[in-house]
Amino acid sequence: MNFCSNCGNPVQLTIPEDDDRKRFCCNHCGMIHYQNPRLVVGAIPEWQDRILLCRRDIEPQRGLWTLPAGYLENGESVEDGARRETREETKAEIIDLSPYFLADLVPINQLYLIFRCQLARPEFAITRESSELRLFREEEIPWDEIAFQVIRVTLQKYFSDRAAGTFPFRNEVVRIALNCPAEPAP
Amino acid sequence: MNFCSNCGNPVQLTIPEDDDRKRFCCNHCGMIHYQNPRLVVGAIPEWQDRILLCRRDIEPQRGLWTLPAGYLENGESVEDGARRETREETKAEIIDLSPYFLADLVPINQLYLIFRCQLARPEFAITRESSELRLFREEEIPWDEIAFQVIRVTLQKYFSDRAAGTFPFRNEVVRIALNCPAEPAP
Ligand SMILES: [Zn+2]
Ligand SMILES: [Zn+2]
């Protein structure tokens, strides 16, 4: 951030009064520009004993497999966001959403909220973002071709919990390298 | 948003290529300025059969009671954020955090993530933001003086779940009026 989005004058990185950390501040109009982590919503769409993965057709990590996920938009609930992202990336409809994993990607200021859910029907199709969609049994998961560390951790927890027969809500900091590829801007 | 925070030129509200909703776009440097919901983290600090509430000493809703909560900052986990906000508003230390309620405030683009937790010690003190701190039994809760609808709903769910003896993770859209007072900027 270089300029004030309110008045167009240059901003300074400085600690405002009654605060304890540096913010982008505009000395001209007085606006303080806070920056906060962004929430990614995603889904583990189940059909019988299989789950739906998408082969990415966009960078980063084009060609690798992931779960449908993307930034939550203003004006939508987290469930609606997960449904929208799944529709956009797989043309599939999901139902029976249940919050499962809140993954904290602290170094890159992202949070992933992943829902378990069911496919309404075993119907999906390629999209601008996905070159291939496929239902995988656990033993078929392409572990060496998973696009992002947070998706790998999500899948590991999911299959481990499934084996144990219970899916408690989980919240964890997922350690990723700063230079690790992550979801791009929406 | 009126000006590009990257280059300082005026932005236009228009639908970018490969997108389906209006964004603030800069025709000069090409940057698209996405706006996303913000996450508030908060706590229900327990001490034996009582919980800690704060009487607000700042606007909005000065004088009314609330739970410690505030915007998650870049570079901190959700648990660390809830601990920091509790410390800032009550000078209390909390332990044993467990995610409890994700409240979706869709019309104002806010999400509240509230943790159940324990006070490390029954020690707290007034702060710049809180004129009074007090441990309340359920029958003592000042229901007519709760600052925000989302806090009221959180407390209702908490006592209802406590009576039932179980605290499942909950995610719900909390209906609030657009002109309803909500947490201010951090
Ligand atoms: Zn300004
Ligand atoms: Zn620009």
Which CATH number belongs to the domain containing residue B71 in this structure? 3.90.79.10
pLDDT for B115-141, tens place per residue?
Answer: 999 999 999 999 999 999 999 999 999
Token readout for A3 is 């300029």
Share of chain B above pLDDT 90, in %: 91
Q: What residue of B is the nearest CA neighbor of A21?
A: B73
Query: Three-state DSSP class for B178?
Result: coil
Order of all β-strands in the sheet with A23-25? A12-14, A23-25, A32-33
B33 CA distance to ligand 2 centroid (A)?
A: 9
Give the amino acid at B183: E
Interchain CB contact of B75 with A (< 8 Å)? yes
Give chain B's domain count. Answer: 2
Q: In this predicted model, what pLDDT tens digit does every residue of B5-18 receive, in sequence order?
A: 999 999 999 999 98
Interface of B with A in 90-109 (CB under 8 A): 99, 102, 104, 106-107, 109
B105 in helix, strand or coil? strand
Residues A27 and A42 in one domain: no
| Residues of chain B found within 8 Å of residue A74, distances taken between Cβ atoms | 35-37, 109
CATH code at position A19: 2.20.70.10
Q: Do B43 and B19 have their domain in common?
A: no
**Is the per-residue pLDDT at A182 higher than 80?**
no
Chain A environment of B30 (Cβ under 8 Å): none
Note whether B61 and B13 are same-domain residues. Answer: no
- Same domain, yes or no, for A65 and A117? yes
Hey, which residues does A53 pair with through a beta bridge? Answer: A134
pLDDT bucket at A184, cuts 50 / 70 / 90: very low
Q: Could you write out the DSSP letters of every residue in B138-166?
A: GGG--GGGBS-HHHHHHHHHHHHHHHHT-
A21 touches chain B (CB under 8 A): yes
pLDDT the model gives residue A176: 82
Over the stretch A102-159, which tens digit does the pLDDT of each residue have? 999 999 999 999 999 999 999 999 999 999 999 999 999 999 999 999 999 999 999 9
Write out pLDDT tens, residues A46-93: 999 999 999 999 999 999 999 999 999 999 999 999 999 999 999 999
Rg over CA atoms, chain B? 19
With CB atoms and an 8 Å threshold, state whether A186 touches B34. yes
Residue B184 lies in a domain: no
Across the interface, whether the CB atoms of A185 and B32 are under 8 A apart is answered yes
Yes or no: say if A122 and A49 are a contact pair by the CB < 8 Å rule. Answer: no
Q: Are B32 and A185 in contact (CB under 8 A)?
A: yes
Q: How confident is the model at residue A185 (pLDDT cuts 50, 70, 90)?
A: very low
Same structural domain for residues B52 and B132?
yes
Q: Which two tokens stand for residue A17?
A: 């009064």
Please classify residue A91 by burial: count the beta carbons closer than 10 Å to its beta carbon, then call 0-12 exposed, 13-18 middle and 19+ buried: middle
Q: Please determine, for residue B95, whether its predicted confidence score (pLDDT) is greater than 90.
A: yes
Looking at the fold, whether A44 and A70 belong to one and the same domain comes out as yes
B141 and B73 inside one domain = yes
Cβ neighbourhood burial of A104 (10 Å; 0-12, 13-18, 19+): buried
Domain match, A136 and A164 both: yes
Using an 8 Å Cβ cutoff, are A95 and A117 in contact?
Answer: yes
pLDDT of residue B147: 96
Are residue A169 and residue A81 in the same domain, yes or no?
A: yes
pLDDT confidence tier of residue A28, bands split at 50, 70 and 90? very high
Q: Tell me, yes or no, whether A163 lies in a domain.
A: yes
| Pair (A15, A104) in one structural domain | no
B179 within some domain = no
Could you tell me if B23 and B53 lie in one domain? no
Going by DSSP bridges, is the β-strand pair A50-56/A130-136 parallel, antiparallel, or unpaired? antiparallel
pLDDT score, position A180: 63
In a domain, B181, yes or no: no
pLDDT exceeds cutoff 50 at A186: no
What integer best gives the mean pLDDT of chain B? 95
Mutate to test the interface with A, among B13, B32, B106 (most CBs of A within 10 A): B106
Question: Are the C-beta atoms of residues B42 and B117 closer than 8 Å to each other?
Answer: no
pLDDT tens digits along A15-24 = 998 888 999 9
A33 forms bridges with which residues in the sheet?
A24
Assigned domain for A180 exists: no
CA of B107 to the centre of ligand 1 (A): 26
- The verdict on residue B140 lying in a domain is yes
Asked if the interface predicted TM-score (ipTM) of this complex is over 0.90, the answer is yes
Does residue A23 lie within any of the structural domains?
A: yes
- For β-strands B50-56 and B65-66, DSSP reports them as antiparallel
Domain limits for position A54? 38-173
SS3 A1: coil
Residue B178 has pLDDT above 70, yes or no: no
